Amino acid sequence: MAPPNPLPFNDLNAQHRRIAPGIERALRQVLEHGRFIMGPEVARLETLLAEFCGARQAISCGSGTEALQLALMALNIGSGDAVIVPAFTFAATAEAVVLVGATPVFVDIEDYYGMIDPLKIEQGIDLARNLGLRPRAIMAVDLFGQPASHGEINAVAERHQMNLIADAAQSFGASLDGVPVGRLAPITVTSFFPAKPLGCYGDGGAVFTDDEALAGILRSLREHGQGATRYEHERVGLNSRLDTMQAAVLLEKLAIFPDEIERRKQAASAYTAALCDIVETPLLREGAQSVWAQYTIRVPRREQVASQLLAVGIPTAVHYPRPVPRQPAYQGFPVANSGISVAEKWSEKVLSLPMHAYLEPEIQQRIIAAVRSAVRT
């Protein structure tokens, strides 16, 4: 039987209805000027993205995964190098490390917030050294829209002269102690995949840094390692440019992004107020502002709760059903000695509820009532 009035998990249609005239005008302009690769919208977007987060440089590229890869390549990380990666994240964080020829070393997460545990990173570094690898970087993933504990992670990175890369694919627009994502780490990477808080209508990504020299290398790497002139290649790079059409879409979406973040925050507060007595609702780190890429609760009997919700037309998602080192493709990579029991526990209980900027109060009440009923039965 078809569920009654199924709700969208992420209502991109509602967002599109709001911005359709602007998007159509912007795309028509691209069709008219015809500069589909590196057109003027790309440079304009980079300027506005940098302004938005206060980073000196924004380098757009083909996807969040490629942004991670470009960051690793720009730091010359490759074969024989180890990169510390949280055990609980989207696989792309580790994938980029493997793609550049380096070894991900997995470290467990904090029980409260689900992000890499700064106290366990050094065990990962020791393990990398014992395996004969050079520990070169730490990937700090800002899970579900709020920043990782960048201050503490940065301190570990500095102590060991390692690079810190922020995987902010889910958190662009968030902040920690008033510092926006994009300035919390020497290199920050984000994604414009359609379902991210700031998404385009296809794939896209960006890297942020204050380091001008590194920015120059990133710009070269995203265009086949191009040098000062077109057919001069200084290094082996990628073809990873953001399409002009996607930049045009992002310019329209960036204009409403602050308002959308505010709406997401309101929706998240309403969920927390109505659900915190019966499920583990998401906790915000002190000083953190989240963009609520996901609103993820933790519940026992997750599969039953999800199927009861689906039966009444409420879609949910599991971010993520297994720790990355438990995935077939990653089970051969090293895991720090303290294990990944917290990541295991999170992956058994996480359940993401519909979250977007167009979650009207009545819809939200319907979801809340259904969650309360599913959890009780």
# chain residues binding ligand PLP, by CB under 6 A: 15
274 CB contacts (<8 Å, ≥6 apart)? 368, 372
CA-CA distance, 113 to 149, in Å (whole number)? 10
CA-CA distance, 308 to 310, in Å (whole number)? 5
Q: 200 near 253, Cβ under 8 Å?
A: yes
Nearest-5° angle of CA 347, CA 139, CA 198?
75
Neighbour count for residue 107 (Cβ, 10 Å): 31
- Regarding 137 and contact with ligand PLP (CB under 6 A), the answer is no
Residue 311 C-beta: closest distance to ligand PLP, Å: 28
Query: β-pairing, 81-86 with 103-107?
Result: parallel
Residue 319 C-beta: closest distance to ligand PLP, Å: 8
Residue 301 is encoded by which pair of tokens? 């009997």
3-state secondary structure 204-273: CEEEEECCHHHHHHHHHHCECCECCCCCCECCCCCECCCEHHHHHHHHHHHHHHHHHHHHHHHHHHHHHH
Residues 208-227, mask of contacts with ligand PLP (x by CB under 6 A): --------------------
CA distances from 331 to 20, 66, 324 (A): 44, 22, 8
Closer CB to ligand PLP, residue 52 or residue 193?
Answer: 193
Among 15, 57, 64, 88, binds ligand PLP (CB under 6 A): 64
Taking alpha carbons only, the member of 204, 270, 199, 163 closest to residue 64 is 204
Residue 77 C-beta: closest distance to ligand PLP, Å: 17
Residue 94 C-beta: closest distance to ligand PLP, Å: 9
Residue of this chain nearest to ligand PLP (CB atom) = 64
- Regarding 63 and contact with ligand PLP (CB under 6 A), the answer is yes
CA-CA distance, 167 to 164, in Å (whole number)? 10
- Regarding 240 and contact with ligand PLP (CB under 6 A), the answer is no
Residue 54 is encoded by which pair of tokens? 């206060």
Handedness of CA 347, 348, 350, 351 (dihedral sign): positive
- Regarding 167 and contact with ligand PLP (CB under 6 A), the answer is yes
Residue 115 C-beta: closest distance to ligand PLP, Å: 10
Closer CB to ligand PLP, residue 96 or residue 314?
Answer: 96
- Regarding 89 and contact with ligand PLP (CB under 6 A), the answer is yes
105 has which bridge partners?
84
- Regarding 90 and contact with ligand PLP (CB under 6 A), the answer is yes
- Regarding 193 and contact with ligand PLP (CB under 6 A), the answer is yes
- Regarding 169 and contact with ligand PLP (CB under 6 A), the answer is yes
- Taking CB under 6 A as the binding criterion, the range among 122-130, 162-170, 228-236, 332-340 that sits at the site for ligand PLP is 162-170
Among 92, 174, 200, 268, binds ligand PLP (CB under 6 A): 92
Residue 89 C-beta: closest distance to ligand PLP, Å: 5
Closer CB to ligand PLP, residue 340 or residue 370?
Answer: 340
Among 57, 123, 188, 191, binds ligand PLP (CB under 6 A): 191
Q: Which residues bind ligand PLP (CB under 6 A)?
A: 63-65, 89-90, 92-93, 141, 167, 169-170, 191, 193, 203, 205
